Structure 1
Amino acid sequence: MKFEIMRHRLLDGLNDVMKAVSSKTTIPILTGIKLEVTEEGLRLTGGNSDITIQTFIRAEENGEQVIRVIEEGSIVVQARMFYEIVRKLPTSYVEIEVNAHFHTHIRSGKSEFHIIGQDSSEYPLLPEIQDNRQFAIPADLLKSLVHETVFAISTSESRPILTGVHWSLKNGELVCVATDSHRLARRKMTLEQLPIGEFSSVIPGKSLSELSKIIGDSTQSVHVIMTNQQVLFKTSNVLFYSRLLEGNYPDTSRLIPTEYKTTVTMDGKALYQAIDRASLVAREERNNIVQFTSLGDNVVEISSSSAEVGTVEEEISTTLIEGEELKISFSAKYMMDALKAVGGHDVKVQFTGVMRPFTLKSVHDDSVLQLIVPVRTY
């Protein structure tokens, strides 16, 4: 195997696949990256027990030669070492040559490295996925979907199913839900050409976070192919496989109230900033609790107190307060996360009582819903 490649394109590809490489693995070859070069270009593969990422760099892009292939072949190289070598090479071109016994030579300018590779035939094959459950999502929409839900997954392994986001397809609608049992984030979207029938999967939150980084600012559509154990996200040059979480996701639809006693409509950005200021005091207490009180005349008070630091109180004007007077306490962090997901525009906060979960959504768009369980402070 022997080829030359533009260093910045090789580095771009490595940046993608490195997201799937773990130093802690029971399969030693997975600490490596598989390189396969053909006349068409270079395919890089990295994986761990949860995700596998494969990216393809074409030999020619936009009329420019990116790779000059002298001899086709494949090799597995130690991921961290190879990445660091390429990152620090002195010139804009890299020559990679593999000789007998997997000896791999990396040359750039007057710099030359000799590293020992491994037999690529020992690298695990990619899962075979049938494409009968396939649909497409615009990349920017997929990225916002991840942003609006993933933060609400559980970080505790005591209930592994809650460390993922539940995706369900039904009647032409995709519904994505994440919850850690103290809060919930839900995003709904209507998509064209969804597969017939109903099905659902729980995708690990960590997988979705890594996927979001790889998508970046892409404007392409991402094809999503689901099976019972794997999901594949496919773009023109990246394949992103993730295992699915096993088990039944709890029925969260019954947690979302259908009737409300108090509704407050207000500027989401102003509410976020007031809670952010109140949390300066709240953070000194371990529970980071902020209190929300309706005062009448379309005014609410955000307050917090700490025995060691003191108190903070701030009044904010609202657009409208409907229903009963209210005094409720909640986690400042949870509320700020929810407001970030909903966006900085006018929000509607709806309450069903002092100790009942309450919801947030945008006044202009109810496709994103956030639910928070309040905190008892007495």
Structure 2
Amino acid sequence: DRLTLAAADGYRLSVRSAPLAEPVSEPLSVIVPARAMVELARISAEEENPILATVTPDQNRILFQLTNVVLVSQLIPGNFPDYEQIIPRERKTRTTVGTSDLLKACRTAQIFAREGADITQLHIHPESSRLVVSASSAETGDDETELKATIEGEPIDIAFNVRYLIDVLSVIDNPQVVLDTISPSRPGVIRPAGEEDFTHVVMPMHLGQ
């Protein structure tokens, strides 16, 4: 009896699950507009009581009942893509690093990466337990930040859109974050260390030779 939220665009996927306050009689899957979820997050920031979500019998609308507010949203018809197939089930390298350290390094790299489509490279070195975050700019030069990390597996150089990394690292409150990678051309998987209820998949960026 869990609630699973999944959101995706063409470059990333986030999946978050949480236990329900009360069990439901049967499974249900609906597509809620992103704007409605953003508004729900805003108005429920200080809500102390459980939120009651009700789908109308025709499955055209969903109602979120808070203590003093009821939010009603239209539902999007159709079926959400099978996101489970997008999440890689294997890995060749697992990197565990401080969340705030990596976030700080990415924010610094973003200054240099803006001119280059926000491309930021992660150089993962298991033999020396180092994660190097780098970005380049013709105008402002090069940036490189070296972080200590716990690394299992093979060395790898992989590039991501740094804005996507900043977005996910900004919402992880665990002091450690895990990055699983397979190859420079396969998606990376980011999770809070020791937690399985949040998974973020991000597509890599391909560098011209």
Q: If the length of structure 1 is used for normalisation, what is the TM-score?
A: 0.53
Amino acid at match of 1:183: R
1:222-274 C-alpha deviation (Å, 9 max, x unpaired): 11101311100112322111101112211110110111000001101100101
**How far, CA to CA, are the matches of 1:202 and 1:230 in structure 2?**
10
Structure 2 matches for 1:105-116, cutoff 5 A?
none
**How far, CA to CA, are the matches of 1:342 and 1:351 in structure 2?**
19
Structure 2 matches for 1:99-178, cutoff 5 A?
172-178=1-7
The reply on whether 1:347 has 2:177 as its aligned counterpart is yes
Relative to 1, partners in 2 of residues 1:282 and 1:316: Cα closer, same or farther, differing over 3 Å?
A: same
**How far, CA to CA, are the matches of 1:300 and 1:264 in structure 2?**
8
SS at match of 2:31: strand
User: Match of 1:377?
Assistant: 207
**How far, CA to CA, are the matches of 2:98 and 2:153 in structure 1?**
19
User: Match of 1:213?
Assistant: 42
Larger relative contact order (CA 8 Å, sep ≥ 6): 2
Runs of at least 4 residues of structure 1 off by over 3 A? none
SS at match of 1:181: coil
Residue number among 20, 36, 57 corresponding to 1:191 in the alignment = 20
**How far, CA to CA, are the matches of 1:192 and 1:220 in structure 2?**
10
Amino acid at match of 1:270: D
**How far, CA to CA, are the matches of 1:176 and 1:264 in structure 2?**
25
Give the alignment's Cα RMSD to 1 decimal.
1.3
- Identify which range, 300-309 or 326-335, moves more after superposition: 300-309
Residue number among 253, 256, 259 corresponding to 2:87 in the alignment = 256
Compare the two structures and name the one with the higher helix fraction.
Answer: 1
**How far, CA to CA, are the matches of 1:219 and 1:272 in structure 2?**
30
**How far, CA to CA, are the matches of 1:317 and 1:352 in structure 2?**
20
User: Match of 1:333?
Assistant: 163
**How far, CA to CA, are the matches of 1:309 and 1:237 in structure 2?**
51
- Quote how far apart the aligned CAs of 1:362 are: 0.9
Amino acid at match of 1:294: I
User: Match of 1:291?
Assistant: 121
- Quote how far apart the aligned CAs of 1:216 are: 3.3
User: Match of 2:32?
Assistant: 203
User: Match of 2:137?
Assistant: 306
Structure 1: gaps of 5 or more residues:
1-171
Structure 2 matches for 1:6-155, cutoff 5 A?
none
**How far, CA to CA, are the matches of 1:362 and 1:214 in structure 2?**
26
Retained in 1: the 8 A contact 2:32–2:76?
yes
Q: If the length of structure 2 is used for normalisation, what is the TM-score?
A: 0.93
**How far, CA to CA, are the matches of 1:252 and 1:276 in structure 2?**
29
Specify the structure having the higher radius of gyration (Cα): 1
Residue number among 36, 41, 52 corresponding to 1:223 in the alignment = 52
SS at match of 1:302: strand
User: Match of 1:233?
Assistant: 64
**How far, CA to CA, are the matches of 2:53 and 2:174 in structure 1?**
30
- Quote how far apart the aligned CAs of 1:344 are: 4.8
Q: Tell me how many residue pairs correspond in the alignment.
A: 205
Amino acid at match of 1:355: S
1:50-72 C-alpha deviation (Å, 9 max, x unpaired): xxxxxxxxxxxxxxxxxxxxxxx
Retained in 1: the 8 A contact 2:11–2:203?
yes
Structure 2: gaps of 5 or more residues:
none
- Identify which range, 252-261 or 364-373, moves more after superposition: 364-373
1:261-311 C-alpha deviation (Å, 9 max, x unpaired): 0000110110010111111100122x1110000133101111011223211
**How far, CA to CA, are the matches of 1:236 and 1:361 in structure 2?**
32
